[in-house]
Amino acid sequence: VIELGMPTRSVVTTCAYCGVGCSFKAELRGDELVRMVPFKDGGANEGHSCVKGRFAFGYASHPDRVMEPMVRESITDPWRKVSWEEAITYTARRLQEIQSTYGQGSIGAITSSRTTNEEVYAVQKMVRAVFGNNNVDTCARVCHSPTGYGLKQTFGESAGTQDFSSVEKADVILLIGANPTDGHPVFASRMKRRLRQGAKLIVVDPRRIDLVRSPHIEAAHHLQLAPGTNVAVVNAFAHVVVTEGLVDRSFVEERCEDFEQWEQFISGPEHSPEAVESVTGIPAEELRAAARLYATGGNGAIYYGLGVTEHSQGSTTVMGMANLAMATGNIGRRGVGVNPLRGQNNVQGSCDMGSFPHELPGYRHVSDDGARDVYEQLWGTPILNEPGLRIPNMFDAAIDGSFRALFVQGEDIAQSDPNIQHVHAALAALDLVVVQDLFENETAKFAHVLLPGTSFLEKDGTFTNAERRINRVRPVMAPKTGKQEWQIICEIAQAMGYPMHYDSASQIMDEIALTTPTFAGVSFAHLDKVGSVQWPCNLEAPNGTPIMHSDEFTRGKGRFMETMYVPTSERSTRKYPLILTTGRILSQYNVGAQTRRTANVAWHPEDILELHPHDAEVRGIENGDMVALSSRVGRTTLRAELSERMPVGVCYTTFHHPVTGANVITTDNSDWATNCPEYKVTAVQVDLVVEP
Ligand code: SF4
């Protein structure tokens, strides 16, 4: 049942699922949520929504919710329900004991892209000001960290360049490694509208996603590349642009630097479509035609997703796309740009808020004396000037014994991170794991303290979507567990002897605005007045910045970077002859913690393996058979679905279910610059499971 009766009041808030950041009116009768109605004035969605945002909120009142804090000495002990006071005192005491025994760097925290900016800010402050180290990382490590790195190197700012409405002026859409109809449905509708009006589409994806051919839409080119060869494809585009005289010379001369040396690099014959045809699997003529279309078809807009970032060369591909946009002058106005489609609701925000181990809020490196000084003055404590541990470093250090305690805010690392066997071993080796979450998730199985989290309906704060839009998340109801998550963080900090206190989430945003130049004009009062703003929002741009790099790049001149293609070490072999790639489906969300607990959505009850009929036939596999999927790190079983969406030699699965668990299979390979895992390329074998 979706509609429970006539509402008596409503609250405007923001969807807690994907990075589109749709606004909704949550309609209530008394304290009961009746329905979610897409908000017509929502800056990101203009009255539209998808099935998840509209109907998948039942998890917030699911009986699985953790409602009281719980503690146990050992993970083999049963949980003991305790008061908030005991849970917080216990957590603080154990963190201090561990630090005094093993050193200041022996503890750390992981933040979530599912929590608010204010909650993330509070955690990174606790780590820096109270733990006294920089061991804080965000789950964006495993999705869009290459976006942050690559766009910072080239443009000077770790964020997408456009607002969503910009797509309405695009003439050519280059969609790389993203499946918006499943991952970002409301933005996909906007893109489809533009395509139906006549914009041309180039899809770069090993899998034939829906947008390649859907009602009234047919991609001009579907470049069905071999997984792991994005850099070769993007370089080939740039090679065609440079060698066929398609460079926007006046833009490059006025706005960019290091062009000449890059031009020499990219002109090399090894980057030509003909040279990379055998690597990418894309016919040279088709690649050449697609490159010409992007460069000459009018406004060229690049949109991309995790099919770009989750590779050993994710950062290189991001820089390659930035090179391409600069070389063709496709940056700084409506209809163009380089646009990451962020996965979770607050990926952008969790990165903005300084929860990377090397960056303070606003992407200022911890070695930046001026930036550190701002926080040292305000927080009254020194801040380390050296980066802390990234998530994979934390796991490695846990296994070698130098890292002993981890605070995990709203992130299920025991299901979502690659090579789960390694993650489980690391978690099991820790002396203290504190999980703050709605549910007793897979990570909580390794926890000693379980602190109840709040759902988006109870939160007060902001999320920042993929277009840098800061949206208010207003409490539709009081926290069912009695505390906002930022209050819990403050109380742990206080119990550890540090005076951290705020009266409200609004006060935290005021501190963010005070200390972060790109947020200087943001306040809850301003957001309530104007609806939402896109950062930078400050004195120069009081109403925000929908299009970045209009007159000059954030770093001054846009910088061309040499992007050498280096093949991944993950290759198909005689033992593991197929390549597995992973993704999402519309009705599920990430590890499924929310969507699996929502009756309203027709969710798929299990992950399935898409396999080309030829690969199935040679293995004696038929549609619906159970198959064993194995890689050099693990093995799982799931059901096969034969599909010609996949090319021969490549198979595909999702990662929504803990039982089938695709991350049992994925490896430790990661992006050279950021350690973002290479979820998209795993050599596997598929065998029919013969029932006894
Ligand atoms: Fe929520 Fe994304 Fe769907 Fe919008 S498109 S309703 S933000 S899941």
**Phi and psi angles of residue 513, each rounded to the nearest 5 degrees, phi first:** -65, -40
Q: What percent of the chain has pLDDT over 70?
A: 95
The packing angle between helices 505-515 and 369-379, to 10°, is: 140
Q: What CA–CA distance (Å, rounded) separates 543 from 201?
A: 32
Per the structure block, which two tokens stand in for 429?
Answer: 């080796």
For residues 328 and 241, is the Cβ–Cβ distance under 8 A? yes
Answer yes or no: is the C-beta of 21 below 6 A from any ligand 1 atom: yes
pLDDT-based confidence at 691, cuts 50/70/90? Answer: confident
Answer yes or no: is the C-beta of 20 below 6 A from any ligand 1 atom: yes
User: Do 307 and 335 reside in the same domain of the chain?
Assistant: yes
Per the structure block, which two tokens stand in for 124?
Answer: 């990174």
Residues of the domain holding 178: 145-341
The single residue listed with the structure tokens 């090319």 is 647
CA of 19 to the centre of ligand 1 (A): 7
Q: What CA–CA distance (Å, rounded) separates 196 from 337?
A: 20
Mean predicted confidence (pLDDT) in 435-441: 93
Q: Is residue 433 domain-resident?
A: yes
State how many domains the chain has: 4
Q: What CA–CA distance (Å, rounded) separates 518 from 521?
A: 8
User: Do 279 and 365 reside in the same domain of the chain?
Assistant: no
Per the structure block, which two tokens stand in for 462?
Answer: 């902001």
pLDDT for position 648 = 96
pLDDT for position 183 = 87
CA of 8 to the centre of ligand 1 (A): 25
For residues 200 and 233, is the Cβ–Cβ distance under 8 A? no
Q: Does the pLDDT value for residue 604 go beyond 70?
A: no
CA of 184 to the centre of ligand 1 (A): 7
Per the structure block, which two tokens stand in for 257?
Answer: 């630097």
CA of 341 to the centre of ligand 1 (A): 12
Strand partners of residue 583: 654
pLDDT for position 655 = 67
Answer yes or no: is the C-beta of 16 below 6 A from any ligand 1 atom: no
pLDDT for position 582 = 87
User: Do 197 and 321 reside in the same domain of the chain?
Assistant: yes
Per the structure block, which two tokens stand in for 122?
Answer: 């509070």
pLDDT tens, position by position, 653-668: 986 665 666 778 888 8
**Phi and psi angles of residue 588, each rounded to the nearest 5 degrees, phi first:** -110, 165
Per the structure block, which two tokens stand in for 274?
Answer: 């003909």
Q: Which atom of ligand 1 is nearest to the CA of 14?
A: 7
- Beta strands, E only, 486-615: 532-534, 558-559, 578-583, 608-611
Mutation to probe ligand 1, out of 36, 46, 182, 186 (largest number of atoms < 8 A from CB):
186
For residues 213 and 219, is the Cβ–Cβ distance under 8 A? yes
- Closest by CA to 45, choosing from 185, 193, 196, is 185
Q: What percent of the chain has pLDDT over 90?
A: 80
Answer yes or no: is the C-beta of 15 below 6 A from any ligand 1 atom: yes
Q: Is residue 547 domain-resident?
A: no
Q: What CA–CA distance (Å, rounded) separates 335 from 350?
A: 27
Top pLDDT among 259 and 18 is at: 259
CA of 185 to the centre of ligand 1 (A): 7
User: Do 382 and 499 reside in the same domain of the chain?
Assistant: yes
Closest residue to atom 4 of ligand 1, CA basis: 22
Distance from the first to the final alpha carbon of the chain: 41
Closest residue to atom 2 of ligand 1, CA basis: 18
The packing angle between helices 145-154 and 314-327, to 10°, is: 40
Q: Is residue 443 domain-resident?
A: yes
Q: What is the mean pLDDT of the chain?
A: 93
User: Do 525 and 593 reside in the same domain of the chain?
Assistant: no
Per the structure block, which two tokens stand in for 448?
Answer: 């000693």
pLDDT for position 178 = 94
CA of 53 to the centre of ligand 1 (A): 5
User: Do 472 and 395 reside in the same domain of the chain?
Assistant: yes
pLDDT tens, position by position, 463-508: 999 999 999 999 999 999 999 999 999 999 999 999 999 999 999 9
Answer yes or no: is the C-beta of 19 below 6 A from any ligand 1 atom: no
pLDDT tens, position by position, 124-182: 999 999 999 999 998 878 788 899 999 999 999 999 999 999 999 999 999 999 999 98
Q: Is 497 exposed, middle or buried (CB count within 10 Å of its CB: 0-12, 13-18, 19+)?
A: exposed
Answer yes or no: is the C-beta of 466 below 6 A from any ligand 1 atom: no
Of 530, 560, 593, the position where a domain reaches its end is 530
Closest residue to atom 6 of ligand 1, CA basis: 53
CA of 675 to the centre of ligand 1 (A): 28
Q: Is 314 exposed, middle or buried (CB count within 10 Å of its CB: 0-12, 13-18, 19+)?
A: buried
- The CATH number for 624's domain is 2.40.40.20
Mutation to probe ligand 1, out of 35, 184, 187 (largest number of atoms < 8 A from CB):
184
CA of 128 to the centre of ligand 1 (A): 33
Per the structure block, which two tokens stand in for 559?
Answer: 């910088």
CA of 609 to the centre of ligand 1 (A): 25
| Strand-pair category, 200-204 with 107-111 | unpaired
For residues 682 and 152, is the Cβ–Cβ distance under 8 A? no
pLDDT-based confidence at 605, cuts 50/70/90? Answer: low
Task: Report DSSP letters for 90-108, one per residue.
Answer: HHHHHHHHHHHHH-GGGEE
- The CATH number for 510's domain is 3.40.50.740
Top pLDDT among 139 and 4 is at: 139
Task: Report DSSP letters for 509-561, one per residue.
Answer: HHHHHHH-GGGTT--HHHHHHHSEEES--SSS-TT--SS-SSSSBTTBSEE--
**Phi and psi angles of residue 370, each rounded to the nearest 5 degrees, phi first:** -65, -45
Q: What CA–CA distance (Å, rounded) separates 211 from 181?
A: 7
Mutation to probe ligand 1, out of 13, 50, 57, 585 (largest number of atoms < 8 A from CB):
50
Sign of CA pseudo-dihedral 138, 141, 186, 532: positive
Top pLDDT among 145 and 219 is at: 219
pLDDT for position 1 = 39
Top pLDDT among 547 and 57 is at: 547
CA of 269 to the centre of ligand 1 (A): 44
User: Do 131 and 149 reside in the same domain of the chain?
Assistant: no
Query: pTM of the predicted model, to two decimals?
Result: 0.92
Answer yes or no: is the C-beta of 17 below 6 A from any ligand 1 atom: yes
Is the predicted ipTM greater than 0.90, yes or no?
yes
User: Do 250 and 320 reside in the same domain of the chain?
Assistant: yes
Q: What CA–CA distance (Å, rounded) separates 547 from 544?
A: 9
Of 530, 554, 589, the position where a domain reaches its end is 530
pLDDT-based confidence at 555, cuts 50/70/90? Answer: very high
Answer yes or no: is the C-beta of 36 below 6 A from any ligand 1 atom: no
Mean predicted confidence (pLDDT) in 576-581: 96
Q: Which atom of ligand 1 is nearest to the CA of 16?
A: 1
Q: Is residue 454 domain-resident?
A: yes
pLDDT for position 589 = 66
pLDDT-based confidence at 552, cuts 50/70/90? Answer: very high
- The CATH number for 169's domain is 3.40.228.10
Answer yes or no: is the C-beta of 185 below 6 A from any ligand 1 atom: yes
Q: How many CA atoms lie within 13 A of 499 on its CB side?
A: 4
Closest residue to atom 3 of ligand 1, CA basis: 50
For residues 98 and 92, is the Cβ–Cβ distance under 8 A? no
Q: What CA–CA distance (Å, rounded) separates 636 from 198?
A: 44
Task: Report DSSP letters for 378-389, one per residue.
Answer: HHTS---SS---
Answer yes or no: is the C-beta of 50 below 6 A from any ligand 1 atom: yes
Answer yes or no: is the C-beta of 586 below 6 A from any ligand 1 atom: no
- Closest by CA to 145, choosing from 655, 669, 510, 670, is 670
Q: What CA–CA distance (Å, rounded) separates 428 from 13?
A: 38
Closest residue to atom 1 of ligand 1, CA basis: 53
pLDDT-based confidence at 2, cuts 50/70/90? Answer: very low
The packing angle between helices 284-296 and 230-243, to 10°, is: 60
pLDDT tens, position by position, 343-401: 788 989 999 999 999 999 999 999 999 999 999 999 999 999 999 999 999 999 999 99
pLDDT for position 34 = 87
User: Do 484 and 366 reside in the same domain of the chain?
Assistant: yes
pLDDT tens, position by position, 263-300: 999 999 999 999 999 999 999 999 999 999 999 999 99
Q: Is residue 627 domain-resident?
A: yes
Q: Is residue 465 domain-resident?
A: yes
Sign of CA pseudo-dihedral 124, 129, 130, 134: positive
pLDDT for position 641 = 94
Of 304, 323, 341, the position where a domain reaches its end is 341
Q: Is residue 90 domain-resident?
A: yes
Residues near 343 by Cβ (< 8 Å), separated by ≥ 6? Answer: 18, 19, 113, 143, 144, 183, 305, 306, 584, 590
pLDDT-based confidence at 510, cuts 50/70/90? Answer: very high
Q: What CA–CA distance (Å, rounded) separates 597 from 603?
A: 10
Q: Is residue 540 domain-resident?
A: no
Q: What CA–CA distance (Å, rounded) separates 299 from 324?
A: 13
Per the structure block, which two tokens stand in for 20?
Answer: 């589109």
User: Do 104 and 161 reside in the same domain of the chain?
Assistant: no
Per the structure block, which two tokens stand in for 200?
Answer: 């041309």
User: Do 215 and 309 reside in the same domain of the chain?
Assistant: yes
User: Do 122 and 189 reside in the same domain of the chain?
Assistant: no
**Phi and psi angles of residue 510, each rounded to the nearest 5 degrees, phi first:** -60, -40
Distance of CA 474 to the CA centre of its chain: 23
